C-alpha cells in the first residue's frame, strides 16, 4: 500500500509540473527572460527554502544540516545544480530544432536514463567503499529501459502527428523560421537530457544532508534546495544577459502589471516545485523498496511525459490525427505507466 501511495504522490507532482506553463500564459507585457527569472525566484529559491525548514526537526538549527556533511558533498550538489540549469536552458532549443514531440522525447528519455544511472556511478567513482553500484540492479535497469522505450514510442507518435497535421498547426512555439534541423537538434537534445539528469546526481551527492531523525518524507529537501540554487545561478546569469541584450530590463519597472505577473509567476513556481517536493514525500513511502527508491527520478520523468501528452489530448493538440497515431500515443503512455512498477514485478 505504501508503494502505491508513493507512486501516486510522484504522479501528482508530475501532474502539477506539467501544468506549470498554464499560469505563465497569463503573464502580460514581460519578455520570456523576465518572467522566466521571476518565476525561477519562486521555483528555485523561495519554495525550496520553505521545504528546507520542513527537514529541520524541533530543537535543531538549519546550520546543523550542513555541519556534519563533508564540504565536498555540498559543493558537488550545488555544482550538479549548475549543470542542471544548463539542461533547462537547452531543453527549449531541442524542441525548436526537432519539434515538441521528438525534442521532448529525446531530452526527457536521456534525462531519465542518465539521471538514474549516473548518480550511483558518480558516487562509486568518488566513494567506492559505499558500493553505490549495488543500487543498479537488473530490475532498476529494466525499469530505465522500459521508460526510454515508452518515451520513444510517444516520440514516434509525435512524428506521425507532424506528418498528418499542417506545418503551421504543428509548428513549435518560438521556432520562428529556424525549422527542423535533425543533426543540430539531436546534439542539443542529448546535451539537454544529460544536463537535466544532473538534478538527480546532485540529489545523490546531497543524500546525507539531513538530521538522523528528520522525517523520511523530508530528507531530500535540503539537497533539493542546493540543486535548485545552482540552477538558479545559471538561469540568473543567462536571463540578465538576455535582458541587457534585448533591452528588456525595463520589464521589471512596469508596475501596472507587477501584481498580475507576480501572482502567476508564484503559481507557476509552486506547480514546478511540486514535482520535487512530491518526489521527496514519495521516497518516504518507498523505503521498503530500494529499487523503486533508485528508480523514483526515472518514474517522475516518465510521468512528466505522460501528463504533458495527456494535457495535449485535453487541449486538442492531437485533433486531426488518425486513430492509428492516437493509439501509438496511448501505447507509449501505457508503457510509461507500466515502467513505474517494473521493479516490483521482477
Give 169's DSSP letter. Answer: H
* CA 34 vs CA 27, 38, 62, 210, 267: distances in Å: 10, 6, 31, 34, 16
The Cα 11–Cα 337 span in angstroms is: 10
The tens digit of pLDDT for each residue in 228-274 reads 999 999 999 999 999 999 999 999 999 999 999 999 999 999 999 99
The Cα 57–Cα 61 span in angstroms is: 8
**pLDDT mean across residues, the chain:** 86
The Cα 296–Cα 280 span in angstroms is: 10
Cβ-contact 135, 207 below 8 angstroms: no
- Whether residue 175 has pLDDT greater than 80: no
The tens digit of pLDDT for each residue in 97-149 reads 766 656 667 787 788 888 899 989 999 999 898 888 898 889 889 988 988 89
Grid coordinates in use for 97? 530544432
- Whether residue 344 has pLDDT greater than 80: no
- Let me know the angle formed at the C-alpha of 109 by 182 and 52, rounded to the nearest 5 degrees: 125
The Cα 85–Cα 230 span in angstroms is: 7
What is the residue whose three cell numbers read 510509461?
336
The Cα 346–Cα 335 span in angstroms is: 16
What is the residue whose three cell numbers read 546526481?
201
The tens digit of pLDDT for each residue in 28-65 reads 999 989 999 999 999 999 999 999 999 999 888 988 88
- Whether residue 167 has pLDDT greater than 50: no
pTM: 0.86
Amino acid at each position: 500500500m505504501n508503494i502505491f501511495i508513493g507512486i501516486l504522490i510522484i504522479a501528482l507532482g508530475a501532474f502539477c509540473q506539467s501544468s506549470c506553463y498554464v499560469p505563465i500564459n497569463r503573464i502580460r507585457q514581460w519578455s520570456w527572460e523576465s518572467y522566466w527569472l521571476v518565476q525561477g525566484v519562486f521555483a528555485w529559491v523561495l519554495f525550496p527554502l520553505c521545504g528546507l525548514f520542513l527537514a529541520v526537526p524541533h530543537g535543531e538549527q538549519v546550520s546543523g544540516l550542513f555541519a556534519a556533511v563533508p564540504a565536498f558533498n555540498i559543493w558537488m550538489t550545488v555544482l550538479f545544480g549548475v549543470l542542471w540549469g544548463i539542461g533547462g536552458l537547452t531543453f527549449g532549443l531541442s524542441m525548436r530544432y526537432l519539434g515538441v514531440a521528438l525534442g521532448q522525447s529525446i531530452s526527457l528519455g536521456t534525462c531519465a536514463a542518465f539521471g538514474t544511472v549516473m548518480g550511483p556511478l558518480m558516487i562509486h567513482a568518488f566513494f567506492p567503499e559505499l558500493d553505490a553500484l549495488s543500487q543498479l540492479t537488473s530490475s532498476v535497469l529494466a525499469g530505465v529501459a522500459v521508460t526510454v522505450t515508452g518515451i520513444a514510442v510517444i516520440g514516434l507518435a509525435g512524428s506521425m502527428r507532424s506528418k498528418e497535421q499542417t506545418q503551421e498547426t504543428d509548428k513549435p512555439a518560438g521556432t520562428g523560421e529556424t525549422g527542423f534541423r535533425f543533426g543540430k537538434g539531436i546534439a542539443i537534445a542529448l546535451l539537454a537530457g544529460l544536463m537535466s539528469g544532473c538534478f538527480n546526481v546532485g540529489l545523490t551527492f546531497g543524500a546525507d544532508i539531513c538530521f538522523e531523525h528528520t522525517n523520511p518524507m523530508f530528507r531530500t529537501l535540503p539537497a533539493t534546495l542546493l540543486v535548485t540554487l545552482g540552477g538558479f545561478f545559471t538561469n540568473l546569469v543567462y536571463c540578465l544577459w538576455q535582458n541587457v541584450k534585448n533591452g528588456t530590463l525595463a520589464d521589471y519597472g512596469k508596475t501596472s502589471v507587477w501584481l498580475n505577473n507576480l501572482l502567476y509567476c508564484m503559481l507557476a513556481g509552486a506547480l514546478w516545485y511540486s514535482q520535487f517536493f512530491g518526489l521527496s514525500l514519495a521516497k518516504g513511502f518507498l523505503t521498503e523498496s530500494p529499487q523503486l527508491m533508485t528508480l523514483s527520478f526515472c518514474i517522475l520523468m516518465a510521468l512528466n511525459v505522460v501528463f504533458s501528452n495527456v494535457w495535449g489530448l485535453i487541449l486538442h493538440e492531437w485533433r486531426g490525427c488518425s486513430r492509428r497515431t492516437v493509439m501509438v500515443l496511448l501505447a507509449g503512455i501505457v508503457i510509461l505507466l507500466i515502467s513505474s512498477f517494473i521493479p516490483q514485478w521482477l
